[in-house]
Chain A
Amino acid sequence: MEPTKNFNTTPGMAVYGTPSFETAPALALAGENFDDFKAPLFLAWQINSVCNLGCLHCCEEAGHRTPGEMTREQIFNFLRQVRELGIPYVAISGGEPLLHPDFLEVAGFIREAGISLKVETNGEFIDNRLVERFAALDFRSVQISLDGATSATHEVLRLKGDWKKSHTAVKNLVKKGVTTEIVFVPTSFNIHEVGPAIDMAYNLGCYGFYTGKIMRIGRAALNWDKLNPTEEQYKAFFRILDEKTKQYENKMKVYYYPYDVIEELKYRLQKPSASLLVVPNGNTKLIGPLPFICGNVKEQPLAEVWERYKKSWREPKVIKFTKRVIKDPNLLAESNKWQNVFETR
């Protein structure tokens, strides 16, 4: 009996919000690969596509309602399966998830099932009543997008956005003991403010600050030439992140993923993550930057969608297209033009 022999830790997370893991190369174990798992470990769920903002860098092109969004009945049918499969961790985003009419009931269901829940929001609708509810629901965290340490910088990217509302939401959540994180997407408009933004997060009492290179998908792809920082800007950005990581060590988690979306795709082609990305109409994508869907949770049981996900990563058309994207990142602009892996055209 040697329980410790096969007990391995795996740092590594948060490639674009999805947890991942690696084991030490010398120890090839069951549990090392995504298809060793009977169900996903993580579910990223875009509950809606409606949003009050029109961010230049939105990776979802959010704003309006997607045709065929899940009904209330479909949502709870889906959630019962999430519970039955034992998926341990769910992140709800949108659109703006707090605009979903069933949001609080959904969050309540997930928490009652004992599942860890992260909510990704612009924070503008978090009033005192919601702060109380969030605290009672004991989320894993609330992650608020703040793309600057000042309203001018934040609002130039987040059209119709109100920095003060988001900032106040962070302050009030922290005050109430809710684990709160800030996410910052660097662009040529705001990259210079990353240092002050990290200081701001710390001063507000945040648990963590998340950032990484902007992804060339969705509306960000359409505005790429305006948004993409220069190499020099990125060099300064990562230098500041290194400094701030050291400065706030053991005080606040400063997390940044140093690679871009192409590096991520190269890695995922070899090691897909044990996670699913469900979009508002129930379609399940292989990964954000690729257009492939492997199923729909409205039409197939979640367990079947998971099996289809595992199979999809071995499909020649997925492998071929991913390799094409790696060679030609312009193809990332196709990421929201969904293609079903198992349908022939």
Chain B
Amino acid sequence: MEFKKHVQVRKEKFGMVIFETLKEKVFVTNPTGAEIVERLKDKKTPDTIIAELAEQYGADAGAIAEDVNCFINNLVRQEVLAK
């Protein structure tokens, strides 16, 4: 799973900005979204991301999985992330 060729990401105070420079579309996330994007940049799998976030937040992995998968699917649907 990786970001598409012309996609640039940058950390901001509010979270992350994702810029699809070929289509010239800008997306923003909140800090939690930024945590996922950073891990995707590091080429971590959804399962790893879920496990890491569950540990970091001390939260239920099932609930986190739902959010993470939904977020990732959204990135795929917006054609910034390739599965």
Contact = CB atoms under 8 A, between A and B. Distances in A.
Contact of A3 (B12, B25, B29): B29
A2 B8 CA distance: 23
A4 B17 contact: no
Contacts of B24: 13-14, 19
B33 A3 contact: yes
Contacts of B64: 1
Contacts of A9: 25, 27, 78
Contacts of A19: 19, 21, 24-26
Contact of A36 (B12, B36, B70): B12
A4 B25 contact: no
A41 to B, nearest CB: 6
A81 interface: no
Nearest to A89: B21
B71 A4 contact: yes
A3 B17 contact: no
Contacts of B71: 3-4, 7
A37 B32 CA distance: 17
Contacts of A39: 10
Contacts of A14: 24
A344 interface: no
Contact of A29 (B14, B19, B68): B14
A63 B53 CA distance: 57
Contact of A31 (B12, B21, B32, B78): B12
Interface string B1-43: 0000010111011110101011111111110110110000000
A26 B32 CA distance: 20
Nearest to B29: A7
Contacts of A36: 12-14
B67 interface: yes
Contacts of B82: none
**A interface, over-half SS:** loop
A93 B17 CA distance: 25
Nearest to A29: B28
A141 B17 contact: no
Given A30-B14, A37-B12, A88-B19, A3 B28 contact: no
B14 A2 contact: no
Interface in B41-65: 53, 57, 59, 63-64
A78 interface: no
A3 B8 contact: no
Contacts of B57: 1
Given A3-B36, A5-B30, A140 B25 contact: no
A17 to B, nearest CB: 9
A271 to B, nearest CB: 13
Contact of B67 (A1, A13, A32, A38): A1
A125 interface: no
B27 A8 contact: yes
Interface in A180-226: 207
Given A13-B25, A36-B14, A88-B8, 18 more contacts: A2-B30, A2-B32, A6-B15, A7-B28, A8-B28, A10-B25, A14-B24, A19-B25, A19-B26, A23-B28, A30-B28, A31-B15, A41-B10, A41-B19, A41-B26, A88-B9, A140-B6, A141-B22
19 contacts: A1-B63, A3-B33, A4-B33, A4-B67, A6-B15, A6-B33, A7-B27, A10-B25, A13-B24, A19-B19, A19-B26, A29-B14, A29-B28, A30-B12, A31-B12, A41-B10, A116-B8, A141-B22, A253-B23
